[in-house]
Amino acid sequence: MGVLGRSYGLTADRLQQVELVTADGTVHRADAETDRDLFWASRGGGGGNFGVATSFTVSTVAAPPLTTFALSWPWAAAADVLAGWQQWAPPAPDEIWSTLLLLAHPARAPQEPVVRVSGVCIGGLQHAASLVDGLVRAVGSRPSARSSSAPDGILAAMLLEAGCSTLDVDACRLPTHGPRGVLQRKPLIGASDYLTQPLAPAGIEVVVDFVNQRQADPAVGEGGAQFDAYGGAINRVPSADTAFVHRQALASVQRTSSFQPGDTAATIERGRHWLNEFTAALRPYVSGESYQNYVDPDLANWAQAYYGDNLPRLRAIRAAADPDRLFSFPQAL
């Protein structure tokens, strides 16, 4: 899932061939005509379940001109922003993608949570602004801050999205991934859900309330919810055409509880308790599905949540490709 997914689909949707070494040492070059089951499973069936991928062939498109944008509102408007965003973002034209962040950060000023919508649009500044105006109308109030830019090329745009606008590619890495890398990991725990229909007002109230709770607790670090827009090209692929089943989603919802290196076990557990309570309170308002790349070790019914109706076929393919379960891990199929 990337910032151009609504225009061009998921990375898995662009896969043309995968070279895969299965548990018996056989090299498979799986595509739509050869080793069809392995090819199908490799497009959303979870990493590590079927073999070791040694190469990918993907279809590409010419890099388009991009505009990035960001809008912020005061926390008092949080419920209106969430209500407006979920009505505007999923059915928006394919060329615009956005994410909504509601984030508590009790240790940093200003002393209220963040409400921010940011995103990427194919096209120039004026075209992007005309589409983003629709969000402002849906929210019903003007943002406290609004900005946009037209980065010079897709690489510059992606560095900006990665928080690396002042860095080059070699610096925009972990130190363990390159000698010039300067990024640091942020320790956190997380959980995810999908919306297949807009959150009801009571569900919106749950999100706002739990971010308020987090903001009021100085003993823990950042925490909140992030909503990523689906729709467009992602949702035009039938759910059974690839192993990735979440084709009816309006948005994914990731909830995170962050920490600092060296935080005590009690602090981490306090954050975990907040996250678990948040998950339980939101459960009546979401689909029961979860994104398989946001691995959640606390998710009880993880296989059904990740793979839905595609689970039986995936398990059959896994059993054929690796009958002795050489490739095993806590959430292996």
What is the chain's pLDDT, residue by residue, as a tens digit (333 residues)? 999 999 999 999 999 999 999 999 999 999 999 999 999 999 999 888 999 999 999 999 999 999 999 999 999 999 999 999 999 999 999 999 999 999 998 876 568 999 999 999 999 999 999 999 999 999 999 999 999 999 999 999 999 998 899 999 999 999 999 999 999 888 999 999 999 999 999 999 999 999 999 999 888 889 999 999 999 999 999 999 999 999 999 999 999 999 988 899 999 999 999 999 999 999 999 999 999 998 898 898 999 999 999 999 999 999 999 999 999 999 999
- Residue reference for tokens 């944008």: 69
Give the residue from 70, 31, 5, 85 showing the smallest Cα distance to 291.
Answer: 5
Q: What is the pLDDT of residue 127?
A: 97
- Report which secondary-structure segment, H or E, holds 102: strand 96-104
Integer Cα distance of 303 and 190 in angstroms? 17
Instruction: Indicate the domain borders of the chain.
Output: 5-61+310-321
Decide: 233 and 5 in contact? Cβ < 8 Å: yes
Give the residue ranges of DSSP H helices in 216-327: 265-282, 302-307, 311-321
Q: What is the pLDDT of residue 135?
A: 98
Q: What is the pLDDT of residue 146?
A: 97
Label residue 219 left, alpha or beta by phi (over 0 means left) and psi (-120 to 50 means alpha).
Answer: alpha
Length of the chain: 333
Please list, residue by residue across 129-168, b when 16 or more beta carbons sit within 10 angstroms of its beta carbon and e when fewer do. Answer: eebbebbbebbeeebeeeebbebeeeebbbbbbeebeebe
The order of strands in the sheet holding 15-21 is: 27-30, 15-21, 52-58
Q: What is the pLDDT of residue 261?
A: 86
Q: Nearest 10 degrees: CA dihedral of 268, 274, 279, 285?
A: -160
CATH, range 5-61+310-321: 3.30.465.10
Q: What is the pLDDT of residue 33?
A: 97
Integer Cα distance of 274 and 41 in angstroms? 35
Decide: 275 and 255 in contact? Cβ < 8 Å: yes
